[in-house]
Copies of this chain bind each other. A is one copy, B any other.
Amino acid sequence: MITSHDVARLAGVSQPTVSRALRDDPKVSDATKQRVREAAQALGYSPSAIGRALSVGRSTRVGLVVTDLENQFYPHVIAPMHQELQRLGHELVLITESSESGPVAEHVIAHGLCGVILATTTLDSILPSRLRDRGVPFVYFNRTAQSVAADSVTVDPEQGVHELLRDIVDRGHIRIGAIFGPRNTSTGEEREQAVRVALDGHGITLAHRDVLYGPFDFRTGHEGARTLLDRTDPPTLILCGNDVVALGALNAAAELGVAVPGDISIAGFDDLPTSRWALIRLSTVAYDLDAMSREAARLIVARADEPDAAPTRAIYPTHYVARATIGRPRT
């Protein structure tokens, strides 16, 4: 391995000068910088991130904490996040909460991550307070917990849900079912609340028996829709906690030979690329997930530099995208 000492020897300077020159320290003369850069180039030297991390006590690696990596939602988070981090000279490492390598907070400390992005926080999660106690910077992404203040990047469902429900009511739906997300997540709660408030404005109440809850995954939508559609008098429309749930519901309907939107209408939330497919055409609530992911990346990098700055709360607006899974209720 080629070290800064090798470069120093070739350039005829000391190792610290190499370190300073390559980081463009103003205390090094231009002539020396030039010479050092040439030597580094000639040797194919690239500074050891490990040595640097040990020395400065902080790495350039950011953890992304998720639970279900196979969930269709995450690629559209990971990709832009990774790209933005790379642009900022940082790396992305994946962490799952079911970490066999022990609790997340300890893992982060042990591996010297400069911060983490929490993408699957539950309202009652102790992770945020553990991270705060340990002094690990973190950012809430998509979901938040109440307990600990921190930077957050979230979605405000209100406008999108408002538009969605106006369309639904205009089309004549009265008997509405729902498969909401987990009640211990902020996204689950907020979306449910937005729906209830909007429905209230139209004088509609969800029947208790038409409301289901579950994780934001395919299976929840799949099993939930089967449950609702097996009824003798199912609702005429199913609101889903997110698009992945809606995809599960759509497929359940297909399996049962129930026409969408002829027999049942289905609504999602997220507007994933898959929802735009001609074979899917899911009516859903959209927001800029790509920009959100990038912003979370920028926030965590900035936070690592300024641990004590006031938390930033970025909230993204939503809007309704009408496609082909919402029609008139069966007469």
Contacts and interface: CB of A to CB of B under 8 A. Distances in A.
B94 A82 contact: yes
A41 to B, nearest CB: 12
A65 to B, nearest CB: 12
Interface string A237-256: 00000000001001110110
B82 A48 contact: no
A132 interface: no
Nearest to A278: B254
| Interface range, A side | 35 or more
Interface in A68-111: 69-72, 74-76, 78-79, 82-83, 86-87, 89, 91-94, 96, 99-102, 106-107, 109-111
A307 interface: no
B76 A101 contact: no
Interface in A134-176: none
Contacts of A110: 46-49
A278 B111 CA distance: 43
Interface string A1-19: 1000000000000000000
A262 interface: no
Given A94-B94, A280-B279, A75 B70 contact: yes
Contact of A251 (B71, B79, B83, B278): B278
Given A46-B110, A47-B110, A61-B93, A72 B70 contact: no
A280 B76 CA distance: 21
Contacts of A91: 93-94, 111
B93 A93 contact: yes
A70 B59 contact: no
Contacts of A94: 78, 82, 91-94
Contacts of A48: 54, 110, 112
A87 B44 CA distance: 35
A57 B75 CA distance: 33
B101 A49 contact: no
Nearest to A89: B101
Contacts of A250: 279
B54 A82 contact: no
A104 to B, nearest CB: 12
A111 B70 contact: no
Contacts of A51: 54
Contact of A69 (B70, B78, B87, B277): B78
28 contacts: A1-B109, A44-B106, A46-B107, A46-B110, A47-B110, A50-B50, A50-B53, A50-B54, A50-B111, A50-B112, A51-B54, A70-B75, A74-B75, A82-B94, A83-B96, A86-B96, A87-B100, A89-B101, A91-B94, A93-B94, A94-B94, A247-B277, A252-B278, A254-B277, A254-B278, A255-B278, A279-B279, A279-B280
